[in-house]
Amino acid sequence: MAVVRWKPGFFGWHRDPFTEVDRLRREVDNLFGAHGRGIASTAGVFPALNLSEDEDNLYVRAELPGVVPEEIEITTKENNLIIKGERKIAAEGEKVSYHRREREAGSFRRIISLPTRVDAEKVTAVCKNGVLTVTLPRAAELKPRKIEVAST
C-alpha cells in the first residue's frame, strides 16, 4: 500500500482525486493480469493466441503441445479465423498409477476477427514443436504499394 498524501478539501480532509484515479487504474490492470508486460487479458477461450503482423502477412500463433496437425481444423470466413481441434492424451495402460496429472485433454474451438482483410486462398498453417503458426497474407489491394513519381 502506497503512502497517500491527504489534502484538506472543501468539506474537510479527503484524498487527492488524481492519486485515487491512478490507484484505481493500477488495480484494474492487476485484475486483468497486465503487469506492464504488454499482455492483453485473454479472451477466456482456449487456445490463447498471439497475433502479429508485418508488411505482407498477419500471423496467428497458439501453443498446442501434443496436438497432432491432423486434429487441427482451420477455416476462414469473411474476416474471421476459426481454429478448431482436439487434444488427445493416450491412455498409458491399466497398470500405471498417477502421481500427477496436470495435462488436460479436450476439444477447442476459437474464432478471432482479423484486423485486416486477408487473401483466404493463400492462408497457410504450420505446426512445429507444438506451436501452431497461421500465416494470413494481406489482401492484395491492402498491401502497401510504392507509387513512382513520373517526371514529364
Partner 1 sequence: MAEKELQVREKQEVQTDAEHTMPGAVFTPAVDIFESEVAITLLADMPGVPSDGVTIDLHNDELKVMGEVESQGSKNETPLVREYETGRFHRHFSLSDRIDQDKISASMKDGVLRLVLPKVEKAKPRRIEVKSD
Q: Where along the sequence are the contacts to partner 1 (CB under 8 A)? A: 33, 37-40, 42-55, 58-59, 61, 63-68, 86-87, 89, 92-93, 95-109, 115, 127, 129-131, 133
Give me the residue label for grid cell 488427445. Answer: 88
Which residues are 106's β-sheet partners? 87
Task: Extract the C-alpha cell encoding 26.
Answer: 493500477
Output 47 or 137, the one with its CB closest to partner 1: 47
**Cβ-based nearer residue to partner 1, 112 or 120:** 112
Give the integer Cα–Cα distance in Å for 54 and 143. 10
Give least dist CB 8 to partner 1, A: 44
Closest CA to 74 of 44, 114, 43: 114
CA 55 remoteness from chain centre: 20
Q: What letter would DSSP give residue 36?
A: S
Query: C-beta of 46: minimal distance to partner 1 in Å?
Result: 4
Shortest reach from residue 136's CB to partner 1, in Å: 12
Strand partners, 58: 53, 136
Q: Least distance from C-beta 49 to partner 1, angstroms?
A: 5
Q: Tell me whether residue 17 or residue 42 sits nearer to partner 1 (CB atom).
A: 42
